[in-house]
Each structure stands twice: as C-alpha cells, then as structure tokens.
Chain A
Amino acid sequence: MPRSLVHIIWFLLLLGFASAIYFLSLPAHLPVWITLLLVGVGAYFSLRWLLKHAPQDEEAPLDKKDAWRAYAILLIGLGLIVEKGYRLQTQFGYWDAWWLWSHHAKYLQDAAYWRELFTLNDPYHPDYPLFLSSLIAFVWRLLGNFNHTVPFVFSILIAVLVPGVIFLALYRKNLLVASFAFLLVALNTEYLTMALSMYADQPLAFLFLGAFVCVEYATTNKQMVVVVAALLGCCIWMKNEGMLLALVFTAFYAKTLLGSGRVKQFAAGIALPLVAYAFLKLNAPANDLVKGQGGNTVDRLMDVARYEAICKYFYALLVGPLMYVSIAVMLYVVYCFLARQWPGRNFLIGMVCLIGFGFVYVLTPQDLGWHLSTSAGRVIYQVVPAVVYAMARNCCSLRVFTNAEQFQ
C-alpha cells in the first residue's frame, strides 16, 4: 500500500475519531483542551500503529518517465479541481449545509446547551448522525468563533482527496486507467458541486471509497480489518445512509471481515464511531422515515407507480448529470462481457447500494416527488467514486500495446 495512501486513510479516520471523541466528551463535561489532548495522543499512536501494520509497498516503482507523467496528471487534475471549484463554491454552502450540518454544529460547540439540538423540530432532523457537525463544532470551539471557512476547508479537502485517492491507489497498476478514473471524477462538474456544497454526502462517499481501497489488503492482512471496520463505522457516524452502505459492504465481505478470528479486529475498528452513533440515537428523536412507517408501508411496497417514478428519476440522473459515469459503466459492462469476466464484487456492492436507496424511496412516508427531487441527486453520488474505483481497479490488467514487440 503506498505510504501516501496510508497517510490519507489515517487522516480520514482521525477526523472521524476526533468527531466521535468530541461528541462523547460533551456529556462527560470534558474541557476542550483535554479532548484535544486525547485526539492528539490518539493521532500519534494510531499513525504509529498504522505505519507498522499497513501492508508494505510491494508494487514496483514507476520508471522516471512514467513518474513524471503521473506527477503531471496529478497536478493538472488538482489544478482543474481548484479552478472549477472556485467557480462553484458558495460562501455558506448549499441550503442543507447551513440548515442542517453547520446549524447542528452551532449547538454542539456550546458545552452548556448542546442538548438543545435534540429538541429541534423534525425539519431540522436532530436525529441525523453528527460526524461532520461534531467535527466543525470541535474546530469552532477551539477557534472560539463560527468561522465559516471551517466547513469549506472540510469540503475542499474531500473534493481534492476523493479523486486523489483513486489515482494514488491505481497509478502504479495502470497509469492510463488511473488517469482516466481520476479525471472522470475530478472533471465532473456535478461531483465538484456536490463536494463543495458542504453536505455530508461526499465525505460519506470518501469513507466508502476508503473501505473499497483498504479491503483489498484485508484479505491477506488481518490488521487491515480494523481499518476497514473503522471506515464503515465512520460511514454510519456520517449519515443514516451510511448504515445501509456499511451493511451491504459487510455482507459482501463477511468472510474477510468477520471470518475466522477476525471479529475482534472488526469490533475494535467499528467500536468508537458506533458508540457515538448509539449515544446519539438514545438521545435524539426517532427518524422521520422510520416514524412514518406503519399500516401504509405494505401499500407503498405494492404501488407499482412508485417504482416507475423512482426508475424514471434515476434514469434521468444517469443520462443527465451522470452521463459520463454512465458511459464508463456501459463500456465496463461490455468489457466484462467480452473478457468473459464477472464485473467484480465491489461493482456489485455499488449496484446493490443503489437498489437499496431505491427501496428507501419506495418506503418513504414523504411526498415521493419532493423526496426524490431534494435528495436523489445527492444520494447517488455517495457511491459514484467507489463504483468508478471498482471499475478502474478491475480494468487495471488492460494494456495499450505501443509496438509489436510488446504485443508479442
């Protein structure tokens, strides 16, 4: 595993654990400097542990010419993200950023009144997981003000690192495929809009992508199960949809994650974010989607028109803002068919998650049209980076032959 990737995954988990520790420090009435100390000590020991246990970098380094090409592609991609991002960014993020995530953070930064968050009305969704809000609150409390650059820094961090991780995980396996996957995500205006919206959807997508990248090493390295479990735990701590993503992922990788003697590692990794999530759920009111289930649930399940509406909406997204990703998926399916190979477990996880999201819309007690229009476009992007990575990873064995000698 490349060292740069180890550092990024560590940093991502550090953010998640800092958020969970800060949230759990609130009922314990810990002074913020003690929380900071705990996070600092945890950061030091977790980095040492990860550098010791992460698999060694076994891939052969690129030759000098390819290394320069890789640098050039990375820099061009990052430059384009910054340039496009400048045009797309908004001061306080889009509506839900300040309506939900930063709004919740304003409660959580206040040691005396943070519990007031749970008295908010349903439209403010006080039951939503608090990874992002708690993290923003922690920094705001350390700064002593509500600096609105803080949520932006988290959003640009994600916007840069998601395509960055795809590239870094793949460039030594196949530079061409890695570059294509990197630019497919980085140049997608809709992706950047989502990432810079300051919503929690793209951070969730990043955690899910991280689990895809790390699980490959978990099959041979037991300690990497801790990392994958921690990433899945952070998915749950990030958004309610994270629970669905984590369950589907764990079901597909049950043997790797929960097989012989691995339950302990899995429990160790997932424990902290899950404790924070459980504490939240014990204090927060019930989720509006769960509350709305009852006698009508079966009627909604049997209503064919709902399925049609959901399929139509998803189709419109796939041929609209997601057109380039859809084309890549189609090419990938054709490639798998011609190569007579299975699309791969990770690709299927992405598809099952999308079907799972579809069922959430079938069961929603809200007005279906409103619910789709306000969330489907965001939700689908939670799995896009992971699906792009899964396809690119499977295509890494593809080679473009430049002369007859190589072909032979």
Chain B
Amino acid sequence: MKTWAVHASLLLAICVATYLYNRKFPLPSRHDMVLNSLEGAKKYLRKGAAIRFVCHVPERGMMDNEEFNLANSFSQYALAPVSLNQPPSINSDTTLLISPVAIAERVGDSARATATVIWEHRDTLFHYLLIHRTHAP
C-alpha cells in the first residue's frame, strides 16, 4: 500500500469523524447550559482565585440525581482555573451557590441575610448566586 494512500485514508477518517462530531450537538446540552450560565460569573472572579462552593441538595423527587451531580461537578470545570470546592479553612469570602430553581427563593433570601450578592443568574434548572460575605454567618 502506498504511504500517501494510507495517510490519506487515516486523515479522511479523522476529518469525517470530527465533522460529524461538530454536527452532532447542535442544541445546547446540560453541560453547555452550565457553561453558558457561569460565563457571566467569570468577570467577577480573579483567575487562579480559590472560592467556596456550595451546591444545595435538591428536595426528594425534584430532579434526578444525574442532572444535579452534573451541574454540581461540571461547575468546577466551567470556572477553572478558579478553584472551587476548597476546604473550609480556605481564606476566601466569596461563595458560589447553586440551587435548583424550585428552592431558589429560599436559598436567595438566606444568602442575602448574611452576604452581598455580586452576581446571579437563573436558567431552566438552576439558580446561580455569587455572594460576598459581609459579616460572619
């Protein structure tokens, strides 16, 4: 077999697969939703900073765990290189709260009682709040 023909075949397979990959996901996925939602928070965060991260556990039956776990975990990827999920001893007053929209009011009221809201965003599933603690909880 000719070397150029082998390389052309392999390259063609890789190019076709990449083209199909880019065509396969035309609608925003759950991952995209988290990425897009957190895009607005980035300008309030210093790169390389470490912030607290709280993900409010949804009430039973509110949504399946897979979606919740995904939002919880994918947020870490979405905001990196800002470090989330740091140990409690971390020296930071900034906290990101993620809660299901069904309990968003309750979580929001509680947060506002002890902190200043820097940024918030709501998508169809989750409510995101970036707060700065003004006094000890």
Contacts and interface: CB of A to CB of B under 8 A. Distances in A.
Contacts, number: 103
B7 interface: yes
Interface string B95-120: 00000000000000000000000000
Give the interface centre of B9, B29, B48, B81 by most chain A CB atoms within 10 Å.
Answer: B81
Interface string A70-101: 11001100110110011001011001001100
Interface stretch (B54-62, B70-78, B121-129): B70-78
Contact of A7 (B3, B29, B31, B48): B3
B59 to A, nearest CB: 25
A164 B6 CA distance: 9
A112 B13 contact: no
B49 to A, nearest CB: 9
B81 A110 contact: yes
B74 A86 contact: no
B21 A149 contact: yes
Interface string B1-39: 101011101101110111011101100010110000000
A112 B128 CA distance: 27
A160 interface: yes
Contact of B77 (A7, A70, A86, A98): A98
Given A119-B83, A156-B18, A103 B77 contact: yes
B9 A107 contact: no
Interface in A151-165: 152-153, 156-157, 159-161, 164
B137 interface: no
A26 interface: no
A356 interface: no
Contacts of A89: 17, 21, 24
A171 B73 CA distance: 45
B99 to A, nearest CB: 22
A79 B13 contact: yes
A85 B87 CA distance: 40
A239 interface: no
Contacts of A301: none
A106 B77 contact: yes
Given A113-B81, A149-B18, A82 B13 contact: yes
B94 to A, nearest CB: 15
A377 interface: no
Contacts of A220: none
- Range for the number of chain B residues in contact with chain A: 20 to 34
Contacts of A70: 1
B21 A4 contact: no
A161 to B, nearest CB: 7
A110 B21 CA distance: 27
Interface string B42-86: 000001101000000000000000000000011011001101011
A116 interface: yes
Contact of A110 (B10, B47, B76): B47
A86 B17 contact: yes
B22 to A, nearest CB: 6
A289 interface: no
Given A98-B74, A99-B73, A156-B14, A7 B21 contact: no
Nearest to A119: B83
Contacts of A95: 73
A75 B13 CA distance: 9
Contacts of B3: 2-4, 7
List the 7 closest A-B pairs by CB distance, nearest first: A113-B48, A106-B80, A78-B13, A4-B6, A156-B17, A3-B3, A107-B81
Interface of B: 1, 3, 5-7, 9-10, 12-14, 16-18, 20-22, 24-25, 29, 31-32, 47-48, 50, 73-74, 76-77, 80-81, 83, 85-87
25 contacts: A7-B3, A71-B1, A71-B9, A74-B6, A78-B12, A78-B13, A82-B16, A98-B74, A99-B76, A99-B77, A102-B77, A103-B76, A106-B80, A107-B81, A110-B81, A116-B48, A116-B83, A121-B87, A149-B22, A152-B21, A156-B21, A157-B14, A159-B17, A160-B17, A171-B1
